[in-house]
Structure 1
């Protein structure tokens, strides 16, 4: 990739997880910008590309480099805002990545393990309990990794989702497509193992998902 990336190029991945950013930052330094996206669902249905907007579409970006943040504010944010996508720019990449990863770990894990949209998950006491346990486990791992994430704020964001919401992982598993199970749940478990923090509820969801969808 080096021949394609000059010294003034900013790399902005919007993938779920945390490991991808660490790889990019390790290789490209201040050229790597952390990014997350929410409130916007894009997927293929046959030959059609389907966009679903929630009315609260947003992109969060973060860089520790002052010059990079100024460029993002001056050059990129106006373009994104003009499309109706609210854009925030911060100085703590790990913070924005963990805030989303904690939520996604719980939502994705329980929806995929149950095969249900989030509304039905929340109506079932057993699955809701699994979601809360996964949420708490992920926040403890984030804390050990140097990032404080509020369990109550994360749960409030989950409760605000449309009852019909299905994470892309669930759709991919149903269609037997490549998926982000390892990038989301697997990454949290690996980080917990590295830091000596238990990830039992999350590991349990991974096992249920693999059994349900016959994954290796």
Structure 2
């Protein structure tokens, strides 16, 4: 199976490195700057699950793409999605499966419009990783997981082939019979965490120390879950109670990556993670008061960042 990883950053680079190390036929679609860095230093991974120094990875740039790939794994940030779709288009043939690892749901609509809904799988990943100053991928803990499935639910011959190809050491792989439900549940948790910690510029534990902190976090989670329910994907009781427990743990240092991106002056996925949830909720008459306040804060940050000339990716 020929696999194309779109990008070689903290997410796509991690999973691509593990697949390459296991002998899979992997190529990385990268921009010129990243390609030069990888040619000079190789693809380096620092992880509690095992380090990798790969000097023989296959790199390809947009102009050289051919529709020869069985699987395209898309791990870009949402704000780079339009560019990623344009860049990878030449790699997608009639039988190519596309596995996006973005949060939220809007990317499924965009990919389906461009390549056809039947080409697109549902997917999500759990990993804490970043790039260091020299371009190495740093895995921040010992866990990494990837879940995928057919958007229509159930299983298929295609899913079975992907399960075999992606089952390698270095991350936990799971094929879900209801990937859309799993994606909605993760979105519910992530949107609540990102909205709460970004709006308050504080960890879960610090928010809970303030007056009304518990009610604020519970209200944010309830709004996110309410949108999911109106969309036909009510979070399961076990998931909801586990998530509530995580978000209401006194003394917790938990924050969202969006909160950390704001602190570092980086771009954020405000529209994809929070804005799209509000849009879907308002179309169904959901209460989104707290979400709208968080979204206003995020958009004000984006305006300030743009005005200050911080054009970092």
Partner Cα separation in structure 2 for residue 200 and residue 71 of structure 1: 44
Task: Pick the structure with greater CA Rg.
Answer: 2
**Whole-Å separation in 2 of the counterparts to 1:5 and 1:176:** 35
Q: Would you say 1:14 and 2:117 are equivalent positions?
A: no
Distance 1:171 1:88 in 2: 28
Q: Secondary structure at the match of 1:12?
A: strand
Structure 2 residue aligned with 1:181: 270
Q: TM-score, normalised by structure 1?
A: 0.84
Question: Which one of 189, 200, 203 corresponds to residue 292 of structure 2?
Answer: 203
Residue from 105, 114, 120 that aligns with 1:32: 120
Tell me how large the CA RMSD over aligned residues is. Answer: 2.5
Alignment correspondent of 1:92: 178
Give the whole-Å Cα distance in 2 for the aligned partners of 1:88 and 1:30: 20
Structure 1's 5 and 51: CA in aligned 2 closer, same or farther, altered over 3 A? same
Is 1:153 the counterpart of 2:239? The answer is: no
* Higher relative contact order, chain-length normalized (CA < 8 Å, sep 6+): 1
Q: Which structure: greater helix fraction?
A: 1
Please show how residues 36-55 of structure 1 align to structure 2 within 5 Å: 36-38=124-126, 40-47=127-134, 49-53=137-141, 55=142
How many residue pairs get matched? 209
| Aligned equivalent of 2:144 | 57
Using a 3 Å threshold, how does the CA distance of structure 1 residues 47 and 56 change in structure 2: closer, same or farther?
closer
Unaligned runs of 5+ in 1: none
Q: Bigger CA drift: 26-35 or 183-192?
A: 26-35
Structure 1 residues 118 and 58: alpha-carbon distance in aligned structure 2, compared to 1, 3 A threshold: farther
Give the stretch that moved more between structures: 200-209 or 96-105: 200-209
Q: Mark the CA change 1:118 to 1:203 in structure 2 (over 3 Å): closer, same or farther.
A: same
Note the C-alpha offset of 1:75.
Answer: 1.5
Change in CA separation of 1:135 and 1:88 when aligned onto 2, cut-off 3 Å: same
In structure 2, distance between residues paired with 1:214 and 1:30: 35
2:159 to 62, 65, 69: 69
CA distance in 1, matches of 2:269, 2:122: 18
Unaligned ranges ≥5, structure 2: 1-87, 305-313
What secondary structure, in the 3-state scheme, does the structure 1 residue paired with 2:109 have? helix
Deviations 1:79-132 (A, max 9, x none): 2xx11x222212333212111100011100111111112332344453332221
Q: Distance in 2 between matches of 1:121 and 1:67?
A: 47
Q: Report deviation, 1:185.
A: 0.8
Runs of 4 or more consecutive aligned structure 1 residues displaced over 6 Å after TM superposition = none
Decide whether aligned partners of structure 1 residues 159 and 70 sit closer, same or farther in structure 2, where only a CA change above 3 A counts. farther
Asked if structure 2 preserves the Cα contact closer than 8 Å seen for 1:102 and 1:154, the reply is no
